[in-house]
Amino acid sequence: MSATPTELPKWADVAVIPLINVAAAFVISGLVVTAIGEDPFNAVKLLIGGALGDLEGIGFTLYYATSFIFTGLAVAICFQAGLFNIGVDGQAYVAGLGAALVALHLGFLPGVLLAPACIVGAALFGAAFAAIPGYLQAKRDSHLVITTIMFNYIAAAMMGYLLVDVLRKQGQMNPETPGFPPGATMPQIKDLVAYLGWQWPDTPLNLSFVLALLCAYLMWLLIWRTRLGYEIRAVGANHVAAIYGGISPARITMITVLMSGALAGGLAVNVLLGEEHRLILQYTADFGFVGIAVALMGRGHPAGIVLAAILFGILYQGGAELAFDQPKITRDMIVLIQGLVVLFAGALEHMFRRPLALLLTRFQPPVPDAPAAERA
Amino acid sequence: MKVDAVPRPPAIELIGIDKRFGRVHANNNVNLKVERGLIHGIVGENGAGKSTLMSILYGFYEADSGEIRVNGEPVRIRSSREAISHGIGMVHQHFMLVQPLTVLENVMLGAEGGPLLAAGASEIRAKLAHLGREYGLEVDPDAVVGELSVGLQQRVEILKALVRGAEILVLDEPTAVLTPAEADQLFEMLKVLKSQDKTVIFITHKLREIMRLTDRVSVMRLGEMVADFETAKTSPPELADAMVGRKVILRVEKGQAHPGEIALEARDLVVKDDRGVTRVDGMSFVLRRGEIVGIAGVAGNGQSELLEALAGIRPLAGGEILVEGRVPPPELRTPKGMRKLGVFHVPEDRHRMGLVMPFQACESAMLGFHDDDVYGAGILFDRRAIAADTAEKMEHFDVRPRAPLLKTANFSGGNQQKIVLAREIERNPHVMLVGQPTRGVDIGAIEFIHKRIVALRDAGKAVLLVSVELDEIMALSDRILVVCGGRITGERLPETCNQQDLGLLMAGVSEREHAA
């Protein structure tokens, strides 16, 4: 088979390249840390130690990772269909409204039913908010990138109005809903392991983490093992061939965007049902945008997204610890490191491919003229 | 090698050119000598390394090793700018012209001669007038390029090279887009250039053109220069053998057709393209079981839109299509529906439409049939059944390598085409719509594909063949319909017509004028 110079073996493509990209981001960050007069090795030690040094750190890291898995999957499923959903943040925000409305109005349900109902509410609202740009893309060819960016602003304005003027509890100053009833809660990992007699410190890590892993597995199954996934990939890889194959790109676009919006709702499940137990202004904290970086770094593959989400979780949790211990290194520094990871993993993805490919061919015995053997 | 009496050095000499792309050895120690003032042909199958060699000559790639000499002087060519400074001009297969600009503006592009255009423009206008007189290459300098015929656009490309002082012209498959008449004009033009001591390198895979036009011919196969002939002393069979490396039968062996009942009928079809331009303008014909009907025509005369309309991809703007004598209900006028009716389609462009290049071969090999229960009756695909099904098709169509899990893009052009054909033919169509079945396919695979198409006919299937290769149309068809400008300009039987006759019809000379 003809190998172009940038074609890498699969293991190198999924493992080595992302590692090199992250390493490059860290090297440059290290230079910046040195420039402001701190010891970069100490900074790395604090960062890693803060994120993975003890069970508490790990709990927080995985809690953040859960959010990133959901938003990363939401972006990645659209990648598969050749679509770019920048509106995951807005969809997650509106999904929070769905979760809150169910929690506050169906509070009479027992906990076993209330929490799943909240999850469904979040997914439905997220999907419904994604449906409008999805429809415009599918039927009117309005570019999804543009419309979803706009819809983020619509979400922010609408939620601001609702939280300040409609949902806010009387006499309460903060723009947030009343607290959710006790049933509208994702079980805490701390409580779950306590059943097994184990100790886990008090962290926000909750069952959403397991739900996120399940979603990642189901997405893998959907994309690579079902007809719908086949059709999604066909539309993403070759629109014209898909039409030829009897697949309707408009239908696939609509379905994919709906699933993406529903996955964005996972953020509401993790943060609102798992930790905050009420809907607060700007609860998404731009996690929807980080999902784009996670999806890019995970190369659109669910397994890659889980790994990338954990890496970003480490950066978030470790970065917070670092900023706490080293006042000179602010949170902006962490944003910088994340930006560099995005730069190397996304924008400069091909920078290290060619050198690596050349390096690998050097260690491989040349295949005796493969094209000659293939010729019919 | 004959001893050349002319004392001057060859215009181009390539010595030991070597170029690898990863593991592919595109050019392996290639030597080529092109004498000044001659038309030198280079033939070879697709993928033989002709284009790579020419890309090295005009500076698009740099060779890994080897030497280029122009007029006996060793030179290094790293860009097209350096190539033209050595007098090498390239005429690409796909024109590098800006359609909304005028001829003059196109010729000036990159040679404006300063920030203000006026001075450069008048200089180039004078040059164009001079070239027009000297070589008979007249083109109106103020005509908009997009409104010129393809033949004239090609002339503009040649003028671009000449204005820049090209002494050596490289033409890459120049006749692929031309009518026979336009090709004749091109050949006359090239002969005039030759008489003015210009050197022409002419790349093609059509042996007929080599025989007609060139003085010498070099043959490439699998990245190597395998033979070099004086054209007058060689023959098409000899060249074909050298290209393929074995004996090839250029004729298709087929018996008498036995046309049966009507399988597909088109009545006054009108089809528009994406921009709303009418491309098929009232075509009517019937297609019977057990016959191959060839649609001959220059590319872009409605064939693509016709195929897409018949396959259910493109809606009809007028007329009707009958399958087995009945107009299918609207819900079946889709690609899926037409497949259900047994109307299968091998699209003209396998890259754009027929295959999904990043897919595994087995995934591409079920495109359009992926709903079938054999690929898994439940929610999940049965991966083993899919791979086994593809392996069987690969076996029947001799696809190499037999690797159902290999990425589609990693197969050679001929093998990709076999994957498409296997997918459609193995499913037992009633009506087979075949577009450009051997485009970009090497000679060995062409023979195989032609045999399968004839076998399909002999099994009583109706075959509609669209091809821009007249040789292919004449070799395979039982009846030939010639199209021009979206209309059928004539119907011929292959045994009683010749290329000139078809050429006139393809150029739009209607039946009546033709007879007169």
| Nearest in space to A152 (alpha carbons), one of A126, A175, A124, A120 | A126
CB-based contact, B398 to chain A, within 8 Å: yes
Residue A168 has pLDDT above 90, yes or no: no
Question: Do B201 and B334 belong together in one domain?
Answer: no
CB-based contact, B437 to chain A, within 8 Å: no
What average pLDDT does this structure show over B480-499?
89
Instruction: Kindly state whether residue B436 falls inside one of the protein's structural domains.
Output: yes
Copy the structure tokens of residue B66. 């080897």
What average pLDDT does this structure show over A300-325?
91
Residue B350 has pLDDT above 50, yes or no: yes
What is the pLDDT at residue A326? Answer: 84
What average pLDDT does this structure show over B485-497?
90
Question: Do B33 and B113 belong together in one domain?
Answer: yes
B24 and A244 in contact by Cβ < 8 A? no
What is the pLDDT at residue B512? Answer: 53
Dist. CA A249–CA A257, nearest whole Å: 12
ipTM of the complex: 0.83
Residues of B in contact with A242 (CB under 8 A): 356
CB-based contact, B400 to chain A, within 8 Å: yes
Token pair 């002393």: residue: B233
Specify which residues B200 forms β-bridges with. Answer: B39, B169
CB-based contact, B371 to chain A, within 8 Å: yes
The helix-helix angle for A55-80 and A208-225 (nearest 10°) equals: 30
Return phi, psi of residue A263, to 5°.
-65, -35
Residue B416 has pLDDT above 60, yes or no: yes
Instruction: Kindly state whether residue B164 falls inside one of the protein's structural domains.
Output: yes
Question: Do B345 and B482 belong together in one domain?
Answer: yes
Domain end, chosen from B244, B271, B291, is at B244
Alpha helix locations (H) across B9-147? 50-57, 80-85, 103-108, 117-135
Instruction: Kindly state whether residue B388 falls inside one of the protein's structural domains.
Output: no
* pLDDT class of A227 with cuts at 50, 70, 90: very high
Dist. CA B200–CA B191, nearest whole Å: 9
Question: Do B240 and B309 belong together in one domain?
Answer: no
The span from the first CA to the last CA of chain A, in angstroms, equals 13
Question: Do B197 and B269 belong together in one domain?
Answer: no
Between A236 and B49, the higher pLDDT residue: A236
Say if CB B489 and CB B511 are below 8 A apart.
yes
CB-based contact, B381 to chain A, within 8 Å: yes
Apex CA B393: angle with CA B392 and CA B398, to 5°? 100
The helix-helix angle for B180-195 and B117-135 (nearest 10°) equals: 90
Residues of A in contact with B412 (CB under 8 A): 2, 371, 374-376
What is the pLDDT at residue B455? Answer: 94
**What is the pLDDT of chain B when averaged over all its residues?**
87
CB-based contact, B414 to chain A, within 8 Å: yes
Say if CB B88 and CB B94 are below 8 A apart.
no
A375 and B400 in contact by Cβ < 8 A? yes
Question: Do B319 and B225 belong together in one domain?
Answer: no
* Closest CA–CA distance from residue B20 to any residue of chain A (Å): 10
Dist. CA B51–CA B46, nearest whole Å: 9
Residues of A in contact with B336 (CB under 8 A): 246
Cβ–Cβ contacts within 10 Å for residue A326, how many? 18
The residue in chain A having the minimum alpha-carbon distance to the alpha carbon of residue B362 is: A230
CB pairs under 8 A between A and B: 116
What is the pLDDT at residue A9? Answer: 74
> Residue B145 has what DSSP assignment?
G
Question: Do B192 and B294 belong together in one domain?
Answer: no
CB-based contact, B359 to chain A, within 8 Å: yes
What is the pLDDT at residue B387? Answer: 95
Question: Do B182 and B297 belong together in one domain?
Answer: no
Question: Do B278 and B222 belong together in one domain?
Answer: no
Question: Do B41 and B144 belong together in one domain?
Answer: yes
> Residue A280 has what DSSP assignment?
B
B352 and A243 in contact by Cβ < 8 A? no
Domain end, chosen from B213, B244, B275, is at B244
C-alpha separations of B419 from A46, B408, B507 in Å? 56, 9, 34
Residue A127, classified by CB atoms within 10 Å of its CB into exposed (0-12), middle (13-18) or buried (19+), is buried
What is the pLDDT at residue A371? Answer: 40
Question: Do B331 and B225 belong together in one domain?
Answer: no
- Helix-strand-coil split of chain A, %, nearest 5: 75, 0, 25
Say if CB A76 and CB A305 are below 8 A apart.
yes
CB-based contact, B248 to chain A, within 8 Å: no
Domain end, chosen from B218, B244, B270, is at B244
Structural domain range at position B444: 262-353+431-515
Domain count, chain B: 2
* Closest CA–CA distance from residue B96 to any residue of chain A (Å): 25
* pLDDT class of A367 with cuts at 50, 70, 90: very low
Residues 6+ apart with CB under 8 A from B336: A246, B312, B368, B371
Between A240 and A293, the higher pLDDT residue: A240
What average pLDDT does this structure show over B23-27?
76
Say if CB B103 and CB B141 are below 8 A apart.
yes
- Range with lowest mean pLDDT among A123-127, A146-150, A206-210, B376-380: B376-380
| Nearest in space to A111 (alpha carbons), one of A212, A210, A15, A181 | A181
Dist. CA B158–CA B103, nearest whole Å: 12
Residue A29 has pLDDT above 80, yes or no: yes
Residue A131 has pLDDT above 50, yes or no: yes
Instruction: State the CATH number of the domain containing residue B29.
Output: 3.40.50.300
- DSSP assignment of A282-307 equals TTTTTHHHHHHHHHHHTTT-HHHHHH
For A330-339, write each residue's pLDDT tens digit: 878 778 887 8
Instruction: Kindly state whether residue B250 falls inside one of the protein's structural domains.
Output: no
Dist. CA B206–CA B36, nearest whole Å: 23
Between B12 and A347, the higher pLDDT residue: B12
Residues of A in contact with B23 (CB under 8 A): 2-3, 361, 366-367, 370
